[in-house]
Chains A and B, each alone.
Chain A
Amino acid sequence: MVGPMRIIEKRQLMSADEIRRTLERLAHEIVEKTAGAKDLALIGVRRRGIPLAERLAKSIRASSKAEVPVGTLDITLYRDDLSTVAPQPVVQSSEIPFPVDDRDLLLVDDVLYTGRTVRAAMNGLFDLGRPRRIRLCVLVDRGHRELPVEATFVGRTVETSDAEIIEVRLQEIDHEERVMVMDRVD
């Protein structure tokens, strides 16, 4: 078993301003690569994918005049690691108030790591219908993939060691705004 472990901050990766500018850029890229954005819908992955999706949708709406609905997805039920994660998983609601059939979906999450979350999220989406396309947008790609998954839109790519943790703090959830690299010390 893992002994008592401390997690300490190593360095800051992004400031509030950098997050804002990165999201602006991502929104532009998304509009550019989505003709018309008519069928586009964003799906925020709980928890920090949700505010990111909301913010991106706001920017996309402003520049494209498209509706861009936002749904939220809880992947707990789709995890492949229920027996090894947190002592007791808690399921949250998924709120996707639009049909996903034939939709152009963009999954939004904060960090791309092993790729397992994305796999779970896609499973969840397929239970709801058959989307025309699913793309992925992440704020940070930290590498170490365990599945053949890549993001279509990446805010920042960063080299990390396995022991490091990327902590994304967002105003809506954490009442602060920054991205940090943390280190696990045994």
Chain B
Amino acid sequence: MLLIKNGRVIDPSSKTDARLDLLIDKGKIAKLAPSISAADALSLDAVGCIVAPGFIDLHCHLREPGGEISETIESGTQAAARGGFTAVCCMPNTQPVNDNASVTRSIMERAASVSPVHVWPIGAASKESKGEQLAEIAAMQQAGAVAVSDDGKPIASARLLRQVMDYCGPLGLPVIDHCEDSSLAAGGVMREGPRSVRLGLKGMPAAAESICTGRDVEVALLSGARLHIAHMSTRGSLEHVRSAKRRGLAVTCEVTPHHFTLIDEDVQYDSHFKMNPPLASREDRDALIEGLADGTVNAIATDHAPHHPASKDVEFDRAPFGILGFETAIALALGELVHTKRISLMRMVELFTTGPAHVLGKNGNSRALAEGSPADITLFSLDREWTYRAADSPSRSRNTPFDGRKFRGGPEATIVAGKVVYRV
């Protein structure tokens, strides 16, 4: 038994924000009350901490199988636990691509033996994510896949997207799309704008993303199935999602911490500022924060994309896209959104819990802190000052622009199925 005492419980599913104790037994929440005493329980003093439902990351890359030099399921999920996540959804762009049940199963089995947190794989939408034939979607779902995506690139054509959505609709699987018009974005290494022109780096216009989001929303209208826009970075995309929601479509979207924190003007000749979608203009970033505040955005997702130092320590235009995300997500959300009063603490917790759960079609109550619920719990502080050191990360990679950054507030403890898997 584990007793979490003196914490401030925040639960978006019941709009709870109260000082409560929480007793965990056999991996489930046994009791939730203002003051619990259980002499035989292990006690965890949560004074000064927020006690929230377990955080979910909808978007990460664990690189296994095939990319173990950059990350493994074990190293990645340890980093996730340090970042306060109790469940992570790993994208299928591994080698081989997770486009069939045997890959999905191998990920599930590996995770079961080494991962401190839940791993929910996302299957490929098309075979090898090539955009030609449908992947073995139903089989992957039976093996544990929670969504489909060809992430890393967009689902190749509107026609294929329609087929995938039509097929996934009855299965209850959301289709996640990386929105990018490949012809407009071709060769680009950062967002097109004054900064790209100044640095002489080839730009991808914001329209490259928005155009594709627009296409996807139209296809969603045609199909009626669930569509989720990954790592949204432009005002145009946001407007498409907003209008889709207004029309009652099942369209959802996510934003990454780096896209609401950094902008294109921050880009240096340092590949730790190179990601796809690229860092947006200030105007687009501000629009994203607005979307996070007004409910248009459903989730904050990290797009944790480890790359081995040797592959990142190259000329900017030759470096791969992507940065680490797990361990800085909560601190960036607090620093950029909550401390600055752009969103409430309740809303922030929602963006990491019931928001992503809703995207996956899980009952929002699956993230409730209620008696009988699974004991996946994230504890974080609002004010503890700390410094992020990439060198200390369990991740096999170090590609982050936030190394050495000082933060106020961050993960304190991560509890998965009643077990403390991480504690500061």
Direct contact of A and B (CB under 8 A): no
